[in-house]
Amino acid sequence: MYEIELLKNTLLNAKKSFEEVKNKLEYKEKIVKGYGGDISRYFDLYVENAIIENLKGHVSKIITEERGIIEINKGEILALVDPVDGSTNVSKDLPFCATSIALFKGEKFTDIFVSGIIDLIRGDVFICDGKNVFLNNSKVKPSTTVDLNEAVISMDLKVTKIDDKTSKVIPQILKEVRYIRFFGAIALEIAYVSCGILDAFIIPFPRVRLLDIAAGLFMVKTAGGFIKFLNEDMEKINIFENKRYAVVASNNEYLANKIIKIIEDGGRI
């Protein structure tokens, strides 16, 4: 498939540009507030520019973490791009970050048809062609874990406010799950669910944009896992809406439902 090769080449070029920018003295400098409201650093924009150059002859619009909506031509393919997922990690020299790209043939989340994620540190490449998910060209599947007390789960622990529900839900999840991790690069963590490294990834409260999660969620679903938006009907999600979402991505529906119950019950089980 032509789009798969486009994805692979773009992801590899993103990693190349990331390696280049780290040699520049100013690579961590704060530059401007990005499309989603977060501060964009020099390395964010540098990698984003490389991705745009790679994609611009092949897509109609690019929606990026830093610049927002970029009009290219009148073609049918739309690209949703997070140039550097895990920017805070990069700014602190923590070696966990990724580039994620999702391609769509319409404006709905459900119009996604291929996606890719590259680990900018290790070089691992995840590709989803709509039928299977591949890690470094090898087909992968989610794990088979069904019990929370045996699960290794990553959870977005950043919350915008501490209220009664927050103070109950997070401790309850921590109590029920065998091991909790949070690495700070959501796209890559969700990709880890698609290949069985993690059993689930949880964003318990509406905090992240579609840019952060679309590519990985498509991988989990395609690989045979289960995804659920907790604050929105998945069929109604428009990729041009700059909303924030809560979501569960799990290896299977059985484990996901146990997690969702804790969240919906406000920590009571």
The predicted structure's pLDDT at residue 31: 78
CATH 3.30.540.10 domain range(s) in the chain: 2-139
Q: What φ, ψ does residue 102 adopt, rounded to 5°?
A: -125, 135
Decide the pairing of beta strands 179-181 and 200-208. unpaired
CATH 3.40.190.80 domain range(s) in the chain: 148-264
Torsion 260-171-219-185 (CA) sign:
positive
Q: What tokens appear for 217 in the block? A: 């969620």
pTM: 0.94
pLDDT in tens, 117-136: 999 999 999 999 999 999 99
CA of residue 93 relative to chain centroid, distance: 20
pLDDT at 266 > cutoff 80 = no
Burial of 153: CB neighbours in 10 Å, binned 0-12, 13-18, 19+? buried
pLDDT at 143 > cutoff 90 = yes
How far is CA 52 from each of CA 113, 209, 260, rounded to the nearest angstrom? 19, 20, 37
Burial of 251: CB neighbours in 10 Å, binned 0-12, 13-18, 19+? buried
Give me the percent of the chain exceeding a pLDDT of 70. 93
Q: Residue 162 contacts by C-beta under 8 Å, 6 or more apart in sequence?
A: none
Decide the pairing of beta strands 112-119 and 98-104. antiparallel
Say yes or no: domain 2-139 is CATH 3.30.540.10. Answer: yes
Q: Residue 135 contacts by C-beta under 8 Å, 6 or more apart in sequence?
A: 124, 125, 126, 195
148-264: which CATH topology? D-Maltodextrin-Binding Protein; domain 2 (3.40.190)
Looking up tokens 């550097």 gives: 84
Residue 152: name the closest of 212, 196, 185 by CA.
196
The percent of the chain in helix, strand and coil, each rounded to the nearest 5, is: 35, 30, 35
Looking up tokens 């999600």 gives: 237
The predicted structure's pLDDT at residue 125: 99
Q: What tokens appear for 136 in the block? A: 């470094």
pLDDT in tens, 51-78: 999 999 899 999 998 788 999 887 899 9
27, 21 in Cβ contact below 8 A? yes
